[in-house]
Structure 1
Amino acid sequence: MSGQTPIFVMNSAPERQSGRKAQTSNITAAKTVADVIRTCLGPKAMLKMILDPMGGILLTNDGNAILREIDVAHPAAKNMIELSRTQDEECGDGTTSVIIWVPGEILAQSLSQLERDIHPVVIISAYNKALQEALNIIKRISVPIDINSDEQMLSLIKTSIGTKFVVRWSELMCNLALQAIRIVAEDPEVASSNVHSLTGVKTVDIKRYARVEKVPGGEIEESRVLNGIMLNKDITHPSMRRRIHNPRIILLDCPLEYKKGESQTNMEFSKEGDWERAQEIEEEQVKAMVNKLVEFKPDLVITEKGVSDLAQHVFVKHGISAIRRVRKSDNNRIALAVGATIVNRIEDLRESDIGAQCGLFNIEKIGDEYFTFLTECKTPKACTILLRGPSKDILNEIDRNLADAMSVARNVVFFPYLCPGGGATEMAVSVGLQQASKSLAGGVEAWPFRAVADAVEVIPRTLVQNAGGNAIRLLTELRAKHANGEHQWGVDGNTAKIVDMKEYGLYESASVKIQTFKTAIEAARMLLRVDDVVQAVRKDREGGGGGGPPQEMEG
């Protein structure tokens, strides 16, 4: 937490660390990161209050959001924070699990292996085998999901936000996420592909095509997915129409004003009338451009650049509305929603470039600002999610939670398999790895292999602890169930009891679990390979011109 007294900044003597000392230091630092967000797992998760240098606060229990904000000095701890970011970008969910599991448990178990003088390379080799076995177990206990079934999809999305701040509006948020994904994923390539692999899949770009617009004020229940696009823009001239049904829309990436010369351009006038003639030429150029547009009889012209007063005057005369200086990303989404093509030169404009799939263009005033709505689109490939709420802090948290829900829905579109939640999958992997380790009997690799099996249990154990249950008794019961092959049993995070997840209806995306395991093992392997931490010298120090002492790496 920059600017404040940090929760933890790993400070130790800035000396060179090598061998066992470097490994122990890295493991300790990584474990400290895990301890910070351990209480953020499950439906009874606690919130963290993070203060920023400007005095603002962030209230969240999203593991990735917390780790993005806190300030750490230790290189291994920074590595863990990057790990959470990777998981968030890849899956959008499982960021807390991956941090609790990797540094908190796998590396803690690795420490005892290192103390037994088992070489890191041997430990890494055992971890690779354990990963392969874990992925096989996950695939074995996964069940397919019908992505066209609203009921199945909503129950899945509910699991991703069941632990979050928005759980009170769970039904609403799940519907918003599902509607948005259905619009964005209406892609023939995605819809027709029956994908059973996590590689080589065309992704649905939620960030680009499903934009969230946060408007403070109103009630959270007023949030909705617009079947089209919303912009924080108003028309350029007060006389233009503010409401048009079935508009013909032209999208431009060029200015509707006279293109002025560069700064080096000189104009020399010899006669008195030349200046007026130069002004007339400018006006004629603009009129020619605008008249070319008017020929296509558009109702609405949207450009990423400026619109001159003269152009506005001509547009008003012909009953055309204009919106200027729209962001490139917004223009791309409008094109996908209304079926138009963005044109760079007015001379290149064709009838086929005009968008006619929008049902209604209207401008509304919300609070103190004007917003443009392009809604009732026939087959939009992009959408806007309008979030309302009492304050910016609450809206930001809802936005983070909604992003997780949409990511989960997106993952299932590509990999339509689910595995039981509530720590059931982790316990199934743990019991399976324990049994598989017996086949490695006699080899040194059996120890690290079993260490991974023990480490995986951290998820159900943390769920029980966060819900205030007796971890030892419940985990023993759960282990017995899984030893009998009842892989559907997991922990109810609300009551701290073990329940059948099939009846309870708690399932998670298999792709998130697979990615969590891969990320976790890969990160543990990387940190175990580090056997030397050395300090770099700032370059400006060598030249003698640098100010201040060299930056010391603390670790």
Structure 2
Amino acid sequence: MHAPVLVLKDSLKRESGSKVHHANIQASKAVADIIRTTLGPRSMLKMLLDAAGGIVVTNDGNAILRELDLAHPAAKSMIELSRTQDEEVGDGTTSVIVLAGEMLHVAATFIDKNYHPTVICRAYNKALEDSISVLDKIAMPIDVTDRATMLSLVKSCIGTKFTGQFGGLIADLAIEATTTVGVDLGQGLREVDIKKYIKIEKIPGGQLEDSKVLKGVMINKDVVAPGKMRRRILFPRIILLDCPLEYKKGENQTNAELVKEEDWEILLKLEEEYIQNMCMQILKFKPDLVITEKGLSDLACHYLSKAGVSAIRRLRKTDNNRIAKACGAVVVNRPEELQESDVGTGAGLFEVKKFGDEFFAFIVDCKDPKACTVLLRGASKDLLNEVERNLQDAMSVARNILKNPKLLPGGGATELTVSAALKQKSSSIEGIEKWPYEAAAVAFEAIPRTLAQNCGVNVIRTMTALQGKHADVGNEWTGIDGNTGDIVDMKERKIWDSYNVKAQTFKTAMEAACMLLRIDDIVSGIKKKQAPGAGPTPSKPKVEEEGDADSEQILPE
């Protein structure tokens, strides 16, 4: 009888070696091919059906990949890339996937030739360092206070988007919104929080040209008692509260036993007095508008409206913070703690307007708002959703430039310059790393090549002509005009890219390619689903003896 051999039953599946490398490269390339056609101004749109049956029409790489449902782990990590890119710099989500896919594609040849993945990764990391130093050389500093330059810059960055056809409208909205919420921290630093302090309100109807940036805040609320309270106040004094203006309920289901009938009246009187005191403490400061995040009882509403004060209740915390930033008020937790300095006097107008069937409150014309609302109008919800996505990208571009005011040429010129510089440098590299380094240099050409493909020009001729130009020094700004496919000077056509976006794209793509190349084992610990009615699977691995498959013995614990 032979020694028992351990056989693992179905609980672990394992793939390893070059098989895994090729599978990962295939999966990454498949993801890159899905969104390759959405790069550049002549890009195609994708129509996506989401889980709820809704439709999304977009050419934003991140929005497309977000809706994809993929099973392959390498493909999932590629999708994660575009999300990282979107959160970090808000643009370049398509480029990063195309570039990472190409980096992996060129590595496949070396895997076939039995190069060790760490050798390829080492060469790639060296190429990344050199490419960032090339970016530093060709970057052009700009003046962020020059509105025209900023406008042309944001315009060229979102020219590839769907709203590119509306000219400078979206770029204009984006720059106005980001410069409004920008806060100088001193020493040349600026804090621009576009997620927290810029709200985008989409109201279907009207034309896209009616969209505007409000110097203040707009909320989907009406005053509590429309008949009794004013709906339009000039230069309002605003008090913001984070507490309920109603009788305090006892904690944990308090029970009160009333013995006499008069006790009930006393109880009601206590309630009335409590609410009256609260309202009097607020009315001491002569406000015109009281906004609370919690409830507001009818009695409090009565006292406030009698004093000619308008009130809004149940506001979101984020909206309340925005109003505080816009009109200079402070959100107060208890009416007793109110001070004159907490009252917001920075707003020029409070007004309630009706759009369609809904009422919207506007607190606008603020003196020095540090929060704003972008009001988008348009034909349909789908259109507005796409405009909002493009506006988010445009605001991210404007924020990147405010944070790091440096420019790089667009239209694939940056990638070609980096590619030419790396090719030149590869001749001085000795040893086995030379070839992967050279391959990385070639991979950078994927971006201009994809641009040329999407324009519908002869790709081989265009790429050959471009490589010829970039072989000479001084042609760093030569690239492809994404609309026509012509080879032009990017400075003349004002096609730019932000330095932050490009540097982040290169770093993310290279590091992701290296990470995926270093995976040599995929071990899946997922058990196969059982047929209904089958018994429980044995949790311990079984031992089968060679030559006697029927006699099984469980391993001792």
* Fold match (TM-score > 0.5): yes
What displacement does 1:99 show? Answer: 0.3
Say which SS state the counterpart of residue 431 (structure 1) adopts.
helix
Superposition map of 1:180-329 within 5 A:
180-185=177-182, 187-189=183-185, 192-194=186-188, 203-238=191-226, 239-329=228-318
Superposition map of 1:27-66 within 5 A:
27-66=25-64
What displacement does 1:539 show? Answer: 12
What displacement does 1:508 show? Answer: 0.8
What displacement does 1:344 show? Answer: 0.5
Q: Indicate whether 1:505 and 2:494 are aligned.
A: yes
Q: Distance in 1 between matches of 2:371 and 2:423?
A: 47
More strand by share: 2
Q: Distance in 1 between matches of 2:230 and 2:263?
A: 38
Is this contact kept in 2: 1:293–1:346, CA < 8 A? yes
Superposition map of 1:379-390 within 5 A:
379-390=368-379
Superposition map of 1:121-520 within 5 A:
121-185=118-182, 187-189=183-185, 192-194=186-188, 203-238=191-226, 239-441=228-430, 443-485=431-473, 486-520=475-509
Determine the structure 2 residue equivalent to 1:199. Answer: none
What displacement does 1:494 show? Answer: 1.1
Is this contact kept in 1: 2:157–2:496, CA < 8 A? no
What displacement does 1:259 show? Answer: 1.0
Amino acid at match of 1:258: Y
Say which SS state the counterpart of residue 16 (structure 1) adopts.
strand
Change (3 A) 1:227 1:113: same
Change (3 A) 1:539 1:351: farther
Identity %: 57
TM-score, normalization by structure 2: 0.92
* Per-residue deviation, residues 312-350 of structure 1 (Å, max 9, x unmatched): 101111100000000000000000000000001111111
Is this contact kept in 1: 2:13–2:525, CA < 8 A? no
* Unaligned ranges ≥5, structure 1: 1-13, 196-201, 551-555
TM-score, normalization by structure 1: 0.92
Change (3 A) 1:390 1:270: same
Q: Distance in 2 between matches of 1:523 and 1:233?
A: 46
Change (3 A) 1:547 1:402: farther
What displacement does 1:547 show? Answer: 9.8
Is this contact kept in 2: 1:161–1:170, CA < 8 A? no
Equivalent residue pairs, number: 524
Q: Indicate whether 1:90 and 2:88 are aligned.
A: yes
Amino acid at match of 1:82: E
Which of 1 and 2 has greater Rg? 2
Q: Distance in 2 between matches of 1:381 and 1:179?
A: 12
Q: Distance in 2 between matches of 1:496 and 1:15?
A: 49
Amino acid at match of 2:188: N
What displacement does 1:56 show? Answer: 2.0
Is this contact kept in 2: 1:292–1:346, CA < 8 A? yes
Say which SS state the counterpart of residue 383 (structure 2) adopts.
helix
* Per-residue deviation, residues 153-189 of structure 1 (Å, max 9, x unmatched): 001101122111111222111110000011011x121
Say which SS state the counterpart of residue 439 (structure 1) adopts.
coil
What displacement does 1:68 show? Answer: 0.3
* Unaligned ranges ≥5, structure 2: 1-11, 540-557
Amino acid at match of 2:281: K
What displacement does 1:83 show? Answer: 0.5
Is this contact kept in 1: 2:198–2:373, CA < 8 A? yes
Q: Distance in 2 between matches of 1:506 and 1:114?
A: 38
Q: Distance in 2 between matches of 1:156 and 1:539?
A: 53
Say which SS state the counterpart of residue 145 (structure 2) adopts.
coil
